[in-house]
């Protein structure tokens, strides 16, 4: 558990220099790992500073989570500001530094931005921090006035004594509050008192992003900075054979040619000079053992693996017996391709290594990961590593991987005293991603004589990023959550259910976490097959699902809400010379339930997703505006992948290079999106990813109604309708 601390009273060091330097009142908390309580001999590195208040009443908040478009620079500070009782305009949000001080996730053992965890993992922590600061300011005012603290209240930015009309601003009270001990337990507001939580608070980063003043990693400028362009091995695992450095050293602006892990870099005075020299640099690579790899061959390997018995992620009843005795059995195989993250801001990092210090500027999803990578290269202690995290031009799981950081720090370590900025081209970014894994699934369902489902067996074959990157997170090494999530423990009341996992390594291909992870594939597999089951039972897809949700009122309400929003129609209809139909999908991921109804039109085989009606139950919407934005974003991301995205490999090489060969969603392809939020009062769910899984099956189910063609493999660009 954590304990609130008044850091104004202690001589301990503050890592949050931006807070400590200007604030007269500092509030943080000890974050003891595995429930260890704070004690007087606790190390300095166990203390953080979340909140600082200066004499002008400006509140500085050190955000432990990173802003990559999902709204953490608004939602999380607003939670704290609600309990502190300040206006958002009087709040400055800065990025917390790396280190154990800010590891507020998973029993205070880690901190990263991903997994749709930021708000739900910090909600109560931030409320308590704000409430404690408010209680201390009230106590300071009460002591100043010689009255009981219970006679005081607050209005935004000030403590007031209504009986006398006295008022003191937080800036006036900050020096006094700095002398007080924090209360053991500060009262929290009742939900009915909320001004910010649950309200569509305006984003703190919107003005900067609208005016172009927001700084992303690629915007980093440091005095004396050099620039580096990189070329990585075209075949994964290949080794650099030769490089003719002399061939480009006399080109304009070129400073050096250096080998880096997996490739070579040209360093120059400007990026353009580095890039042009790199294009002229003679290099050869030994392709190694992976030169024969193809994604098509791996796809066939996955399909063969589906015939094998897997490890059970879920096993309810007796699926084999139920299928053997079923009056009717249907089965199908599904497939999903490798996908790139395709962040709008390509990978980049700036690093400066000095004799006793290393500074890194990197868009990332985990500052501790950056610091650890830099420390390993330089040999420095973590205390000597400074990580600056700007805004991210997209993350989606890609920026958990530190390859671009390793390159920049490696180069800076060879050229000490000179900041070096590495920028990947779009081609490098596309061909050296850590891809969403390819996956395949076999699904079988059995029905009784009345058409009621009695069994469902799903087998998924893939390699999961968790097993590759974080095997220590697995409860069972044979059952990788990042392969099966989205197939097991789903809500449908089918008496016999089994979800099997077959791990099929794809060692040559770097894989990673992709928005919604395995839910992105398995949501497509499962919800498409549920529609196949409805068709086999002769039932409407919505009514079929409703019958299977009799004991799941939350799921049923979400489904019914989306269906009502859409004005659900079975079959097709003509509108403006085009044939229209609707498809539906329902999926839970990251603690949130999402239903989507997609209205799709076909015009001479051209697919147009006209509108999407989306209902979401995330327990409680801390910021409804951001919840809606994230649903829209997730739909766009998932639809883009469903329509045309695919990474293929031949002879060990990625075939796609840029957006001409890896097309993403165009503005004219974006449907109208309507979102309705259901505040059920259940535990907080995530919101950054759950909007992605349902869109592909919803669209594909509509296409079946339109064309009679069942889509069992993505992307849709491979089909003719």
How does pLDDT run across 287-342, given as a tens digit for each residue?
A: 999 999 999 999 999 999 999 889 999 999 999 999 999 999 999 999 999 999 99
pLDDT of residue 247: 98
Reference 395, options 452, 339, 345, 333; nearest CA is 345
The answer to whether the beta carbons of residues 46 and 31 sit under 8 Å apart is yes
Q: Hunting for tokens 């478009």 — which residue is that?
A: 69
pLDDT tens readout for residues 459-516: 999 999 999 999 999 999 889 999 999 999 989 999 999 999 999 999 999 999 999 9
pLDDT of residue 17: 44
pLDDT tens readout for residues 199-244: 999 999 999 999 999 999 999 999 999 999 999 999 999 999 999 9
CA atoms within 13 A on the CB side of 43: 9
Give the confidence band of 48 by pLDDT, cuts at 50, 70, 90.
low
Give the confidence band of 100 by pLDDT, cuts at 50, 70, 90.
confident
pLDDT tens readout for residues 54-65: 999 999 999 999
Compute the distance between CA of residue 99 and CA of residue 385 in angstroms, rounded to an integer: 10
pLDDT tens readout for residues 677-720: 999 999 999 999 999 999 999 999 999 999 999 999 999 999 99
Residue 311 β-bridge partners: 501
Report which DSSP code applies to 716: G
3-class DSSP state of 661: coil
Q: Quick one: what percent of the chain has pLDDT higher than 90?
A: 89
pLDDT of residue 43: 40
372: number of Cβ within 10 Å: 16
Reference 68, options 339, 398, 359, 338; nearest CA is 398
Reference 281, options 316, 254, 244; nearest CA is 244
pLDDT tens readout for residues 535-557: 999 999 999 999 999 999 999 99
Give the confidence band of 10 by pLDDT, cuts at 50, 70, 90.
very low
Question: Which ranges constitute the DSSP H helices of 645-687?
Answer: none
pLDDT of residue 28: 72
Compute the distance between CA of residue 568 and CA of residue 230 in angstroms, rounded to an integer: 52
Give the confidence band of 615 by pLDDT, cuts at 50, 70, 90.
very high
Residue 230: left if φ>0, alpha if ψ -120 to 50, beta else—which one? beta
Give the confidence band of 37 by pLDDT, cuts at 50, 70, 90.
very low
Chain centre distance of CA 118: 9
pLDDT tens readout for residues 267-290: 999 999 999 999 999 999 999 999
Give the chain's mean pLDDT: 94
Compute the distance between CA of residue 32 and CA of residue 48 in angstroms, rounded to an integer: 11
Report whether pLDDT(351) > 90.
yes
pLDDT tens readout for residues 359-397: 999 999 999 999 999 999 999 999 999 999 999 999 999
pLDDT of residue 2: 59
Compute the distance between CA of residue 500 and CA of residue 516 in angstroms, rounded to an integer: 20
Compute the distance between CA of residue 300 and CA of residue 333 in angstroms, rounded to an integer: 12
Compute the distance between CA of residue 399 and CA of residue 360 in angstroms, rounded to an integer: 14
Q: Hunting for tokens 């069992």 — which residue is that?
A: 712
Give the confidence band of 5 by pLDDT, cuts at 50, 70, 90.
low
pLDDT tens readout for residues 161-182: 999 999 999 999 999 998 999 9
Contacting residues for 272 by C-beta, under 8 A, at least 6 apart? none
pLDDT of residue 477: 87
Compute the distance between CA of residue 89 and CA of residue 87 in angstroms, rounded to an integer: 5
CA atoms within 13 A on the CB side of 5: 27
pLDDT tens readout for residues 421-466: 999 999 999 999 999 999 999 999 999 999 999 999 999 999 999 9
122: number of Cβ within 10 Å: 22
Q: Hunting for tokens 């009062």 — which residue is that?
A: 681
pLDDT of residue 9: 47
Q: Hunting for tokens 């408010």 — which residue is that?
A: 134
Contacting residues for 579 by C-beta, under 8 A, at least 6 apart? 572, 573, 601, 602, 706
Mutual angle of helices 695-707 and 519-536, in 10-degree steps: 30
């Amino acid at each position: 558990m954590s304990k609130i601390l008044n850091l104004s009273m202690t001589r301990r060091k503050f890592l949050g220099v931006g807070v400590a330097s200007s604030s007269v009142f500092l509030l943080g908390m000890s974050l003891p790992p595995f429930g260890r309580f704070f004690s007087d001999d606790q190390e300095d590195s166990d203390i953080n500073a979340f909140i600082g208040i200066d004499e002008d009443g400006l509140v500085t908040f050190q955000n432990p989570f990173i802003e990559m478009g999902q709204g953490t620079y608004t939602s999380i500070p607003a939670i704290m500001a609600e309990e502190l009782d300040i206006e958002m305009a009087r709040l400055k949000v800065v990025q917390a530094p790396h280190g154990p001080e800010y590891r507020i996730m998973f029993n205070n053992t880690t901190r990263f931005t991903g997994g749709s965890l930021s708000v739900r993992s910090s909600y109560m922590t931030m409320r308590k921090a704000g409430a404690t600061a408010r209680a201390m300011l009230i106590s300071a005012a009460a002591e100043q006035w010689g009255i009981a603290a219970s006679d005081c209240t607050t209005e935004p930015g000030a403590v007031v004594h209504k009986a006398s009309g006295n008022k003191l601003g937080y800036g006036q009270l900050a020096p006094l509050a700095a002398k007080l001990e924090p209360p053991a337990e500060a009262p929290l507001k009742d939900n009915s008192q909320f001004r910010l939580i649950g309200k569509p608070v305006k984003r703190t980063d919107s003005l900067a992003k609208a005016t172009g003043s927001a700084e992303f990693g690629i915007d980093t400028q440091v005095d004396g900075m050099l620039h580096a362009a990189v070329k990585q091995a075209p075949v994964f695992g290949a080794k650099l054979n030769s490089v003719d450095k002399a061939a480009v050293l006399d080109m304009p602006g070129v400073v050096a040619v250096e080998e880096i892990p997996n490739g070579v870099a040209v360093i120059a005075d400007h990026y353009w000079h580095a890039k042009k020299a790199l294009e002229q640099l003679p290099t050869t690579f030994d392709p190694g053992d992976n030169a024969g790899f193809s994604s098509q061959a791996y796809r066939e390997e996955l399909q063969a693996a589906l015939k094998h018995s897997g490890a059970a992620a879920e096993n309810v009843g007796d699926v084999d017996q139920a299928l053997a005795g079923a009056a009717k059995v249907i089965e199908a195989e599904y497939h999903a391709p490798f996908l790139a993250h395709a962040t709008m801001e390509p990978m980049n990092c700036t690093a400066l290594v000095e004799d006793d210090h290393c500074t890194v500027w990197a868009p990332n999803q985990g500052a501790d990961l950056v610091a650890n990578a830099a420390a390993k290269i330089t040999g420095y202690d973590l205390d000597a590593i400074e990580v600056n995290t700007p805004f991210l031009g997209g993350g989606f799981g890609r920026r958990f991987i530190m390859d671009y950081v390793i390159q920049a720090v490696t180069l800076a370590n060879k050229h000490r005293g000179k900041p070096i900025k590495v920028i990947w081209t779009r081609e490098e970014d596309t061909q050296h991603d850590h891809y969403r894994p390819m996956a395949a699934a076999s699904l079988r369902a059995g029905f009784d004589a009345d058409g009621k489902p009695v069994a469902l067996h799903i087998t998924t074959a893939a390699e999961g990023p968790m097993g590759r990157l974080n095997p220590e997170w697995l409860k069972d090494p044979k059952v990788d959550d990042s392969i099966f999530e989205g197939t097991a423990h789903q809500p449908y009341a089918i008496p016999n259910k089994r979800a099997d996992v077959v791990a099929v390594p794809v060692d040559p291909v770097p894989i990673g976490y992709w928005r919604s992870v395995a839910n992105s594939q398995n949501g497509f597999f499962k919800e498409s097959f549920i529609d196949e089951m409805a068709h086999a039972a002769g039932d409407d897809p919505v009514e079929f699902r409703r019958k299977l949700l009799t004991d799941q009122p939350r799921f049923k309400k979400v489904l019914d809400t989306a269906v009502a929003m859409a004005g659900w129609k079975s079959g097709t209809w003509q509108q403006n010379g085009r044939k229209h139909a609707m498809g539906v999908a329902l999926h839970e991921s990251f603690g949130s339930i999402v239903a989507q109804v997609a209205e799709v039109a076909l015009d001479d085989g051209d697919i147009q997703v006209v509108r999407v009606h989306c209902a979401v139950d995330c327990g409680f919407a801390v910021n409804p505006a951001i919840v809606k934005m994230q649903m829209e974003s997730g739909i766009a991301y998932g639809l883009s992948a469903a329509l045309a995205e695919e990474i293929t490999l031949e002879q060990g090489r990625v075939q796609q290079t840029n957006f001409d060969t890896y097309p993403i969603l165009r503005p004219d392809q974006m449907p109208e999106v309507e979102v309705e939020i259901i505040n059920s009062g259940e535990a907080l769910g995530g919101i950054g990813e759950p909007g992605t899984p349902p869109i592909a099956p919803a669209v594909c189910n509509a296409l079946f109604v339109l064309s009679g063609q069942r889509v069992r493999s993505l992307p849709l660009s491979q089909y003719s309708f």
